[in-house]
Amino acid sequence: MKPVNVGVIGLGTVGAGTVDVLSRNAAEIARRAGRNITVTHAAVRNLGRSRDCDIAAISLTQDPFEVASNPQIDVILELMGGEELSFDVVATALRHGKHVVTANKALIATRGNELFAQASEAGLVIAFEAAVAGGIPVIKVLRESLAGNRIDSLAGILNGTCNFILTEIREQGLEYDAMLSEAQRLGYAEADPYFDVGGIDAAHKLSILSSIAFGTHLNFNSVYIEGIEHIRQQDIVYANELGYRIKHLGIARKDERGLDLRVHPCLVQKSQLLANVSGVMNAVLIHGDAVGATLHYGAGAGAQPTASAVVADLVDVVRTLTADPGNRVPHLAFQPDELAELKSLPITAIECAHYLRLTVRDEPGVLAEVTRILGQRRVSIKVISQKGFGGDDGVVPVVIVTHHAREADVASAVTEIEDLDASAAAVVRIRLETLD
């Protein structure tokens, strides 16, 4: 059979990694796919830059639209990133009858609904395994392997930068700022780290996973987002003493009231597998009504792991090239006319346990005041512990772990505690999830 011709948009980290894997493992891949796969064209911003892959046999251009519309090309790999230009490039490729594989989570999370509609109308595939959790095949697992399940919930470590920083704070005993610099030095964090440490990247991924799990349109704007910037080393130490690790999680849960989608730091019991996922690694825990709990772990970023996911999608697409378009796996797992509109729950409606760190004056009666406020709001205390004695400034940390309570009640109790005369700083509040 004639080889499949592939055009690559972007030869940065992921693009070069993909070209490298496709040529290094060409024989192995053809033995699986039943056809040779050849990268014939690529679009790059800078023609003169050296690349981490062999480009001798690839025709280069600076114009991505030239590749996206080239009639010799069967499949486009969109590996340039960004939201605006990449949208136009993908839309152009679809208009020219090409299947698309992308690693672009922002594009899929924010513009996926439009692109999937365009692709389905044209009988084409947009594949995006690499957009979520790098080399971990969580899209395929949710979309195909758990097709018999009603998915109840999922929780994932979806951003390697956050997980690296939280792991390093714990292991090295240093503060957030130092560990962020370390992540930047090692290339795990961008010069502007806001997308990662602010939780936006994880929220993009969570909104994609949630759509596929629950059969809804993509709805990035309904994700509640908190980053890790406010986590202090002492919170990680106190959590550890209580038997927990602090992880930055994306959580999606469906119940009769609606859909609960949120990204925030979380205390997780040390005995949980998710708590033991360290450094830049990612993992996703999925709970289905038949399968129970499953967990999928691996590298969430990096040239080679992301390339692994891109190539898997490419092989899937190669298989669809001569097969019946009506029978393909739907983009969002459920048939397009079977997607549901589920109500999004506001963060104030959720219920979970909380870790609270108060900074209060070491005076008689303060703990009585605090416990009275919590009790009035129906927030019941599981553990309360004053850490040491007041120093020169006369203030002490008090750590509280609550039982399950309504988010809105905890929030108003926190406000009232912060208003006490004895309160010397803002309360640090971190949710605590019991996962299975």
The site for a copy of itself (CB under 8 A) is made up of 17, 21-22, 24-25, 28-34, 129, 135-137, 140-141, 143-150, 215, 271, 273, 276-277, 288-299, 302, 304-305, 307-312, 314-316, 319-324, 326-330, 333-335, 338
CB 396 within 8 A of CB 390: yes
Strands in 75-78's sheet, in edge-to-edge order, are 59-61, 37-43, 4-9, 75-78, 99-102, 126-127
Residue indicated by tokens 């389905």 = 120
What minimum distance in Å lies between the beta carbon of 153 and a copy of itself? Answer: 15
Q: If you write DSSP's letter for every residue of 281-328 in order, what string do you get?
A: EEEEEEEETTTEEEEEEEE-SSHHHHHHHHHHHHHHHHHHTTS-GGGS
Nearer to a copy of itself, 340 or 383 (CB): 340
Gap between the Cα atoms of 148 and 340, Å rounded: 17
**Nearest-approach distance from CB 37 to a copy of itself, in angstroms:** 10
Q: Which is nearer to a copy of itself, 108 or 310 (CB)?
A: 310
Our CB check for a copy of itself shows the closer of 181 and 294 to be 294
Question: Could you say which DSSP state residue 346 is in?
Answer: P
CB of 54 or CB of 393, closer to a copy of itself: 54
Q: Is 205 a catalytic residue?
A: yes
Nearer to a copy of itself, 152 or 409 (CB): 152
Residue 29 or 180 with smaller CB distance to a copy of itself: 29
Quote the Cα angle for 333-277-106, to 5°.
Answer: 45
Please report where in the chains the tokens 């948009």 appear, as a residue: 9
Quote the CA–CA distance of 208 and 127 in Å, as a whole number: 12
For 51, 71, 81, 231, 314, the CA distances from 77, given in Å and listed in that order, are 17, 15, 11, 38, 8
* Shortest Å distance, C-beta 293 to a copy of itself: 7
Question: Catalytic one among 98, 105, 205, 254?
Answer: 205
Least Cα distance to 252 among 216, 207, 218 occurs for: 207
CA–CA separation, 130 vs 119, rounded Å? 18
Residue type for position 331: H
Could you tell me the two tokens for 357?
A: 């760190």
**Cβ 323 to a copy of itself, closest distance in Å?**
4
Tell me the residue type at 189: A
Q: Report phi then psi at 197, rounded to 5.
A: -75, -20
Of the candidates 156, 170, 105, the residue with the CA atom closest to the CA atom of residue 263: 156
- Closer residue to a copy of itself in complex, CB, 46/271: 271
How far is Cα 347 from Cα 261, in angstroms, rounded to an integer?
8
Residue 175: CB minimum distance to a copy of itself, A? 25
Q: Which residues are catalytic?
A: 205
